[in-house]
């Protein structure tokens, strides 16, 4: 008798022509809604399947997989995976994959866009103009911070941090970075001759600080009131990583009282909700978690997640060898 086909859950309607590749191997549970699932609904979907393809909106931990006896793989359509409780999934033998590399350049481009918009007050100026305030040209209107000749700080020098550092050479910026580990000198040289410094030196020396580090228990609120107090009052801060890295009330307070010039935020603690304190400030550029949002990149992310899921469930040309495993220790068992 033929083996029953494996079942997978596709949590969102994502590039149908790309996700159609799953049908060759699996029975696919699809959805047409772009909605947030309550935890019980996530658990209900996972109960019936061998694998799932999810985005950062799906939070999956011990409770959601408690009744998922068949579940063996989760392919996250994101490089970050803080939506997944990795220890719980690993303990349950569920292989997790992510989508590194394919989004690096698009995200680094956006980092620069957000930095420039923040430093040069682009959205604030546009809002002001649209509100009809512009009645005469003025020499000192909307003065902003230069990028050229300034010092860029990068906290988290992984692939995206390095992409941002490489771009800095075009603006004649000096690059300082802090990371868990210092990079090899050749990599530093490729990254606009970036210089490794301690966390406190990074905070106090830079004119612009870019956050591109993974969100973990150790990086929760690393940018808190004490860290912000070490920064120059003229500095700008850009967060491309995860909202939980920044203590948002402390940030809003620093911005409101002139202890920090401006911030550009693409991510928020508790998104899609954005704190009223941030919404009320003029010197913040707010975008809705779109750093990787170009059609080609989003498509490449879905294609990689599809390949990961097929391979993780032991099918296709790379059966058993997904290219981007997160808890790779499970593959060795």
The residues assigned a catalytic role are 242, 271, 289
- Which residue of 8, 18, 43, 56 would you call a contact of ligand 8YV, by CB under 6 A? 56
Contacts of 149 (CB under 8 A, 6+ apart): 172, 173
Q: Which of residues 269-308 bind ligand 8YV (CB under 6 A)?
A: 289, 291-292
Compare residues 96 and 291 and give the one whose CB is closer to ligand 8YV.
291
CB distance 245 to 213 below 8 Å: yes
Nearest-angstrom CA–CA distance, 320 and 322: 6
CB distance 148 to 170 below 8 Å: no
Pair of tokens at residue 36: 């947030």
Closest distance of CB 136 from ligand 8YV, Å: 42
Closest distance of CB 83 from ligand 8YV, Å: 8
CB distance 221 to 246 below 8 Å: yes
Residue nearest to ligand 8YV as judged by C-beta position: 78
- Which residue of 8, 22, 103, 227 would you call a contact of ligand 8YV, by CB under 6 A? 103
Residue 78 touches ligand 8YV, criterion: CB under 6 A: yes
Residue 60 touches ligand 8YV, criterion: CB under 6 A: no
Compare residues 212 and 250 and give the one whose CB is closer to ligand 8YV.
212
Which residue's entry shows tokens 């690096």?
Answer: 104
Residue 94 touches ligand 8YV, criterion: CB under 6 A: no
For 181-214, letters b (16+ CB in 10 Å) and e give eebeeeebeebbebbbbeeeebbebbbbbbbbbb
Compare residues 55 and 287 and give the one whose CB is closer to ligand 8YV.
55
Total chain residues near ligand 8YV (CB under 6 A): 10
C-alpha distance from residue 105 to each of 102, 293, 319 (Å): 8, 11, 29
Closest distance of CB 8 from ligand 8YV, Å: 17
- Which residue of 55, 90, 204, 294 would you call a contact of ligand 8YV, by CB under 6 A? 55
Compare residues 80 and 249 and give the one whose CB is closer to ligand 8YV.
80
Nearest-angstrom CA–CA distance, 235 and 261: 5
Compare residues 56 and 145 and give the one whose CB is closer to ligand 8YV.
56
Closest distance of CB 291 from ligand 8YV, Å: 6
Could you give the 3-state DSSP secondary structure of residue 299?
Answer: helix
Q: Is the preceding omega at residue 228 within 30 degrees of 0, hence cis?
A: no
Compare residues 6 and 102 and give the one whose CB is closer to ligand 8YV.
102
Pair of tokens at residue 205: 């020396």
- Taking CB under 6 A as the binding criterion, the range among 78-86, 158-166, 192-200, 276-284 that sits at the site for ligand 8YV is 78-86
CB distance 197 to 175 below 8 Å: no
Contact residues for ligand 8YV (CB under 6 A)? Answer: 55-56, 77-80, 103, 289, 291-292
């Amino acid at each position: 008798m033929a083996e029953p086909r494996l079942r997978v859950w596709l949590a969102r309607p994502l590039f149908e022509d790309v996700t159609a590749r799953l049908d060759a191997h699996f029975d696919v549970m699809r959805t047409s809604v772009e909605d947030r699932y309550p935890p019980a609904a996530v658990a209900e979907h996972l109960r019936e399947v061998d694998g799932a393809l999810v985005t950062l909106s799906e939070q999956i931990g011990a409770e959601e997989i408690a009744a998922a006896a068949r579940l063996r793989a989760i392919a996250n359509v994101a490089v970050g995976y803080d939506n997944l409780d990795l220890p719980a999934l690993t303990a349950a033998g569920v292989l997790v994959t992510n989508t590194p590399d394919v989004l690096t350049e698009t995200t680094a481009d956006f980092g620069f866009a957000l930095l420039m918009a923040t430093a040069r007050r682009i959205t604030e100026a546009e809002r002001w103009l649209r509100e009809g305030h512009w009645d005469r040209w003025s020499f000192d209107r909307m003065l902003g911070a230069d990028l050229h000749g300034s010092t860029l700080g990068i906290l988290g020098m992984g692939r995206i941090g390095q992409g941002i550092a490489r771009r800095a050479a075009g603006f004649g910026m000096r690059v300082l970075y802090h990371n868990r580990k210092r990079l090899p000198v050749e990599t530093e040289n490729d990254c606009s001759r970036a210089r490794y410094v301690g966390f406190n030196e990074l905070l106090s020396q830079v004119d612009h600080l870019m956050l591109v580090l993974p969100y973990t228990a150790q990086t929760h609120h690393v940018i808190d009131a004490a860290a912000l107090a070490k920064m120059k009052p003229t500095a700008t801060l850009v967060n491309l990583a995860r909202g939980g890295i920044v203590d948002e009330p402390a940030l809003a307070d620093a911005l409101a009282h002139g202890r920090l010039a401006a911030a550009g935020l693409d991510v928020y603690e508790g998104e899609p909700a954005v704190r009223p304190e941030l919404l009320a400030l003029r010197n913040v550029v707010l975008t809705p978690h779109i750093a990787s949002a170009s059609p080609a990149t989003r498509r490449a992310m879905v294609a990689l997640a599809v390949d990961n899921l097929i391979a993780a469930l032991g099918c296709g040309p790379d059966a058993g060898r997904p290219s981007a495993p997160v808890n790779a220790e499970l593959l060795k068992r």
